[in-house]
Structure formats: C-alpha cells, structure tokens
Chain A
Amino acid sequence: MKHAVISCLHANLAAVKAVLNDIDQQGIDDITCLGDLVGYGPQPNEVVDLVRERAIASCQGCWDEDIIEGLNACECSYPSQLAEKRGHLAHEWTAEQLTDINKDFLASLPTSIRRDRILFVHGSPNSQHEYLLPDMNAFAALERVEKAGADTLFCGHTHQPYVRELKNGSIRVRLQNTSNNKAEEKEINLPMRKIVNAGSVGEPRHGSINATYVIHDDVSGEVEIKEVAYDIRQTCQAIIDAGLPPIFAWRLSHGFEFAEQAEDASHVCER
C-alpha cells in the first residue's frame, strides 16, 4: 500500500493545501507528517487546524517543541547572529498567534512514530535538531537507522528530499586488550538500510521554490520524491499582511530557507 510522508510545513497554508490535493488525487489516504508544522510562515493556526481536521499522524518537530517549551534550540543551532535574530522574531510571532488548543495539539505530538520496522522522526533518532544530510558519513548514517531498530528511517528537517540506500557494508577490526595478549581480528557484516528524507512542504531548499514530499510503497519498498507547485505569491502576501519581516517573503520566493541551516550539520544541541 502506498502512503505519503510530508514534513516541515512551516505554516505555509497554500503549500500544504497544494500537497494534500496532490496526495488526494493519487487516491492515497495514509499520510504521515514529520513535524515542524509551524515556524516562519504566516498561517500557523490554519496549518495546524488542517492537519488536525485531516487526522494526519504527526511527529513533533524542533519548531513545534520550541513553541511549547520556549526557545529550546541553543544559539549554536543557528549559523549566524542574523539567522538567530530572525528565528527569534518568528518564534515570538508564532507563539503569540497560536491558539491554546493548537499549542496543546503540538505538545501532544510524539517525537517518533514506529510502524513495524519503519521509524518516522523529524531530525534523527538522536534529536529533533540533528540534520541527516545525504552526504553524511555513510557509517554514521547507518548507525542512526540501526540505533532506531529500523529498516527504513523517514526524516525531514534538512528541507532537501532524498532516498539513501546503504548496503554491502562491512567493517574489519583488530582488537587488543589486557586480557588477551594476541590481537583478535574480526569482520562484521552490516545490514542493508534506507533513509528517506521527505523534504519540505512549506520551506523548500532543494534549489526550487516548489513544495516537496515523498510517496512510499511499503510492498515494493519504492520511494518516489514528488515536487508540487503552489501559489507562492499568496503565502508571500500573507507574510507581509501578517507583519512578519518582508525578507521572509523574499527568501521564500527565491527558494532560500528563511534562515540557513547550521553549518555543522551533525551538531546536536546538548540542552
């Protein structure tokens, strides 16, 4: 059966509607969302309402968590002072707009959703803030999936959709310790695993302004990356009307993220 995975909606209603419409047209009922329903974008309540109405199973993203808990992301998760100040602006605005019901909804979201050997998370099994980029060290990437006890790991957070298959792996080691005078050599064969990044609906960063999401066929294992055009002018106008910084509209309409991702992609906030 096919199911759709969406992520990083970022309060961009026009983009969310366009993607849900695209999913509906393919007759897919099963949708999983990997979090970041809000943040930066101009329609946080409308987007959360829609996700609730459609009963879309969702994980909690780092933005969803921060809105409830107060700013939890450490300063080092922003690549620059400018990005941090903009992030804080967006945070304050969003926190003020969100209704209590919607805040409670975001607070109720789990950090991960498991379906047999498939795990859905926002960033990585380690943290909502960790980026799993497609060029991350393959062993470290495999470690994340193994740690999760999954065959396939669905994640978002980077806003760049990809499917990464890790296979034919082995590691040879030589071990010496106090109890054994002779070095022991062994070889470990690694299992085949898959990481699927669902991209971003509301804040794409893959070099185009279109929304992205993925469709997974759990029988064949096939994953299709989908790109959907939406009326970006509507969202840009809503950003201006809401009194959010106009630079957010400019960045969105040029396919840049509102704030760039942290330079150290493997960074995990200690807090």
Chain B
Amino acid sequence: MGRKWLISGSPGCGKTTWILNKIKSNQGACGYLRLIEQANNNKEKLPESLIDYTFLKDQAPHLQDLSDCSDTSMSQQKDFLILIELSQSQSPESLEPAELNPYVKSQLESLRLQPDRHLHFGRDSELPNNDTLVFKKLESWSLNLAKRVWDPQSLNTFWFELVNGAYGDVYRAKALMNLPDGQSIFFNWIVSQKGSQFLPLKTVSPPNGRPESPSALVIQGKGLDCIGIESTINHCLLNDALLEMHQTPLRNQQPEALRTN
C-alpha cells in the first residue's frame, strides 16, 4: 500500500531536508511534486522548484519527478511514496494550515493526486520543530542562472555579503551554483540557523564549456536591493575566455609548471 502526503510549512522550516530523508529511507518507489500557491504563467519550473528538484534528484537518483504528469504506474507499485511539497511564500496566520487554496486544489485534481495525509511544519509533532522566523510578508527575488559559471572566490565574497545583509535583510537564500571545474554546489541559508549549508552535488559536469545542469538563486527577505545583487552577480560570472582559462588546465592535467608573465 502506498502513501501520498502533502507537506507544507513556512520558508526555511526544513521541508526539503525532511523530504530527502523520507525518500532515502523509503524502500519502494518515490515520487516528488512541488506546488506553489499562485499560478505561474511560465511553463518552465520556477527557480526555487528547479533547485529543489535538482538537489533531490541528485541525492536520490531513483526519485521520480511528478511535475509533468502523475505517473499512475507508480500507484500500482508496493510501498510507493509520493511527497507533495507545498511552498508557501509567507507564514500562515495560525499554525493550522488554512484550507488549501483553490489553485492548489485544482493542480492536485488535474494531476489526479489526492493526498491521503497533510503534514504541516509547526503543527505536526512528527516533523522536526525548527526555529523559523514568523514573517508576515516577504519579498521574494529569484534569478535563473542556467549556463552561468562563477569565479569561485567571487562567489565566496558575494554569498558572504548577501547573507550578512549587504543587499537588504535576507531571511532565506537558496541556490545551485556552477563552478568552472564542473561542480554544482547547493547553497542553503536561513537567518535563524547558524551558517550556510554548502553541498556539492554528486553529479559533476565535465570541465568543457558551460554546464547543462540547472542553476538558480532564490532570495526571500525585506528591502532587497535587487539591482545591487544583480550588479554584483554580473561581476562574479565568468566570460567565455576566463571560463576556458579555468578549464584548460583541468582538461590536460600536466605536470605542475611555473609560469610568469
């Protein structure tokens, strides 16, 4: 017998991490779907969904992405587990999850996914009770960084500035960033928790031009200086010539030699 659970909670409460652990420990097939509360005209996945899907799929390759259509064959399998993450752009007024909004309901119906359980962070005791901030109204800003590659040292500086308030009060920041050596790093930060989480994905692209793996940055906070953020990002991204300079030595690993000039 399989399960279809809907997981909701405030930003940064630990939904994705909890979901990952659940998927890893489940014996049977696993499916994942991420829903948002408002209609998105764009057919493409939103940056935050893109980050979560890519991260989860990297950590648990057997995971099935149910965002395009409900895989009915899955429901036939033993011990299947379908986890539906509901992203909430703001904290609900009370701990009780409000009635699911019509848009969420219609998405579930069209995918023929009726959850048999609804777990909500902050209410259900089987979920970890992470110390999340209660924010009423958050600004959210995101940027798709597909095919963008960072100068590693610059990325370091940018992230440090970002989470320390150089571009407004950032409450939450999540990203998948490409490095010239083909690594993709998952960045995760929330104001109430100590330090950033940096996790290199298992999937590594060859150091051969711009990677195909998804890359995006999502920020939630107040008084965000989006122009400043974007301007700094532009100063951190490698152009083709510099990317090539980083990658050439990785492609031909020669004995170490010194060069000046």
Which residues of chain A have a CB within 8 Å of any CB of chain B? 79-83, 85-86, 245-247, 250-251, 254, 260, 263, 270
Instruction: Assess whether A247 is in contact with B161, with CB atoms less than 8 Å apart.
Output: yes
Kindly name the residue among A81, A245, A250, A260 whose own CB sees the greatest number of chain B CB atoms within 10 A: A81
Closest B residue to A249 using CB positions? B166
**A74 to chain B: closest CB distance in Å?**
10
Closest A residue to B227 using CB positions? A246
Residues of A within 8 A of B154 (CB): 80-83
Interface digits, B153-180 against A, CB 8 Å rule (1 contact, 0 not)?
A: 1101110010011100000000000000
Contact (A79, B164) CB under 8 Å given A247-B228, A247-B232: no
Q: Given contact pairs A81-B235, A81-B238, A83-B157, enumerate 7 new A-B contacts (beta carbons under 8 Å).
A: A80-B154, A82-B153, A82-B154, A85-B235, A250-B161, A254-B164, A260-B157
Residues of B within 8 A of A251 (CB): 161, 166
Closest A residue to B150 using CB positions? A81
Instruction: Assess whether A80 is in contact with B157, with CB atoms less than 8 Å apart.
Output: yes
Interface digits, B209-240 against A, CB 8 Å rule (1 contact, 0 not)?
A: 00000000000000001001001100110100
Interface CB pairs A-B, < 8 A, 17: A80-B152, A80-B153, A80-B156, A81-B151, A81-B238, A81-B242, A82-B154, A82-B157, A82-B158, A82-B235, A82-B236, A85-B235, A86-B235, A247-B161, A247-B166, A251-B161, A251-B166
**A191 to chain B: closest CB distance in Å?**
32
CA gap between A250 and B164 in the complex, in Å: 10
Instruction: Let me know if B261 is at the binding interface, CB within 8 A.
Output: yes
Instruction: Assess whether A270 is in contact with B164, with CB atoms less than 8 Å apart.
Output: no
Instruction: Let me know if B260 is at the binding interface, CB within 8 A.
Output: yes
The binding surface of chain A is classed by DSSP as helix
CA gap between A79 and B151 in the complex, in Å: 10
CA gap between A83 and B225 in the complex, in Å: 20
Residues of B within 8 A of A250 (CB): 161, 165-166
Instruction: Assess whether B225 is in contact with A81, with CB atoms less than 8 Å apart.
Output: no
Kindly name the residue among A80, A85, A251, A263 whose own CB sees the greatest number of chain B CB atoms within 10 A: A80
**B21 to chain A: closest CB distance in Å?**
35
Instruction: Assess whether A82 is in contact with B151, with CB atoms less than 8 Å apart.
Output: yes
CA gap between A250 and B152 in the complex, in Å: 22
**B150 to chain A: closest CB distance in Å?**
9
Residues of A within 8 A of B156 (CB): 80
CA gap between A80 and B209 in the complex, in Å: 20
CA gap between A41 and B166 in the complex, in Å: 18
Pick from A81, A246, A260: contact of B236, CB under 8 Å: A81
**A88 to chain B: closest CB distance in Å?**
10
